[in-house]
């Protein structure tokens, strides 16, 4: 495994100038008309603030009472954070889809509705293919603000002393949006503490943060296999999605054939990107009501379920290498602490993708509903826990905090998006179970789950 060190002084991002476990945290659009009524259904294109609405009023707000260690003598000894990159521009693939939709709108004979005329006559297609998923200024702020909030939540670990002393490590995917998110996280801390006399390294490690690119079995059986997403394609051709497409066609006064499922998705993404990047409640959002948005969210959830989560075993097993890395850091910290040594790595910040975080959450057993998501059970899944809008907004994060509560009593607290969650299977211990119980619960994965073995492609011998 090779890692490349980069200096945080190289802040590599481009800004286009001149361009303006169920979590019940719905934003009420009536209280803030600047927020689209459908913003809570944006899946992986959603803002972090929709998951934690209190941040809309104060982006640096924290509530330390949520941590609730079992006794006052508990002290934090190690924290590992696996974080998704911040808000980004659309990828080249999605820009192309959006451009096609824009051309359809420009050529349509819209009605006299003001917002439709605005869409056709005033809104201009400003997304370009060379943006290709790069971090935007909002994404820079996502990670700066997250760094400050985590320093307030965990002041004994994420501190100026620990940073200067080399006790905080940074690891990132090689993708520019992840490198720039890592730089932004570090900048949040250095600006907070006015550090100007030191720079802090980070390691680029795709083996950990882009494991899905390295797992041959996943690539062959799922990622590059059209039959793996049959349920997704069936839903896109089904009655719910067809109703959304026809409704958009009716509004735009174009033939039904002009609005494909890709076009409907492009319209939904335009609404989401305009809001996430520019905080604009765009006229694109008016093409969807709440039920339409639920359909679009379900289509996205289906894709993530089958391509990155519980749909196939290899989806989660591809994250074995990251799973073992996280637990090896916890174990090293536990042993150093128990032997009376100073914990050498107090904090590990690992920045990757939604595709990094979701397989790991799946491997740990989070958000596993009793029934799988399929093309035919949209109506039955309205109360599902598997909601990417709640799990994987921009800057989504899984945080594991190791506590020493005295007398050899080590505890491990998981948080998702700054909220305590419960390890599946350990609900009787609430959100801070004994560390040894967590190890026992995941013993089969800790003893097995070998990345090389799991990702090996087993082929049937050729017929003689």
202: annotated active-site residue? no
Cβ contacts of residue 163 below 8 Å, gap of 6+?
Answer: 189, 190, 193, 195, 200
Contact 378, 240 (CB under 8 A): yes
CA distance 113 to 106: 15
Contact 264, 295 (CB under 8 A): no
Cβ contacts of residue 296 below 8 Å, gap of 6+?
Answer: 41, 43, 244, 264, 265, 268, 288
Among residues 85, 143, 145, 304, the one annotated as catalytic is 85
CA distance 228 to 269: 24
Sign of CA dihedral 36, 42, 47, 49: positive
Nearest Cα neighbor of 368 from 310, 311, 409 is 310
CA distance 251 to 271: 16
| Other CB atoms within 10 A of residue 251 CB | 18
Task: Provide the pairing of β-strand 397-404 with 410-416.
Answer: antiparallel
Positions annotated as catalytic residues are 85
């Amino acid at each position: 495994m090779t890692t490349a060190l980069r200096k945080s002084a190289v802040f590599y991002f481009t800004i286009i100038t001149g361009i303006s476990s169920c979590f019940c945290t719905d934003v009420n659009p009536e209280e803030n008309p600047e927020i689209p009524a459908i913003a809570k259904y944006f899946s992986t294109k959603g803002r972090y603030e929709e998951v934690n609405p209190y941040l809309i009023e104060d982006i640096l707000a924290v509530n330390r009472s949520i941590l609730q260690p079992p006794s006052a003598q508990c002290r934090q000894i190690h924290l590992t954070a696996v974080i998704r990159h911040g808000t980004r521009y659309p990828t080249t693939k999605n820009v192309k889809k959006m451009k096609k939709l824009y051309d359809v709108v420009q050529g349509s004979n819209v009605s006299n509705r003001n917002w439709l005329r605005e869409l056709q006559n005033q809104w201009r297609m400003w997304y370009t293919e060379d943006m290709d998923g790069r971090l935007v200024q909002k994404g820079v702020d996502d990670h700066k603000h997250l760094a400050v909030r985590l320093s307030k939540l965990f002041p004994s670990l994420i501190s100026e002393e620990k940073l200067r002393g080399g006790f905080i490590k940074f690891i990132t995917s090689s993708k520019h949006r992840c490198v720039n998110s890592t730089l932004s996280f570090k900048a949040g801390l250095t600006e907070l503490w006015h550090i100007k006399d030191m720079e802090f390294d980070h390691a680029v490690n795709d083996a950990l943060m882009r494991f899905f690119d390295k797992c041959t079995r996943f690539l062959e059986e799922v990622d590059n296999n059209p039959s793996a997403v049959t349920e997704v394609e069936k839903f896109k051709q089904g009655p719910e999605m067809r109703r959304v497409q026809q409704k958009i066609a009716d509004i735009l006064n174009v033939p039904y054939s002009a609005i494909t499922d890709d076009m409907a998705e492009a319209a939904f993404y335009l609404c989401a990107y305009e809001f996430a990047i520019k905080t604009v409640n765009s006229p694109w959002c008016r093409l969807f009501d709440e039920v339409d948005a639920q359909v679009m969210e379900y289509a996205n959830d289906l894709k993530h379920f089958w391509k990155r989560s519980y749909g196939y075993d290899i989806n989660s097993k591809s994250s074995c290498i990251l799973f073992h890395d996280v637990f090896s850091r916890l174990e090293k910290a536990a042993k150093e602490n128990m032997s009376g040594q100073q914990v050498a790595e107090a904090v590990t910040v690992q920045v990757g993708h939604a595709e990094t975080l979701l397989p790991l959450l799946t491997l740990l057993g989070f958000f596993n509903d009793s029934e799988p998501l399929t093309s035919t059970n949209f109506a039955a899944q309205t109360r599902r826990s598997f909601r990417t809008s709640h799990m994987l907004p921009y800057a989504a994060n899984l945080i594991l905090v190791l506590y020493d509560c005295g007398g050899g009593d080590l505890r491990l607290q998981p948080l998702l998006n700054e909220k305590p969650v419960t390890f599946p299977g350990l609900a009787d211990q609430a959100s801070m179970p004994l560390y040894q119980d967590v190890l026992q619960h995941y013993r089969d994965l800790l003893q097995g789950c070998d990345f090389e073995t799991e990702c090996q492609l087993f082929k049937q011998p050729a017929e003689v």
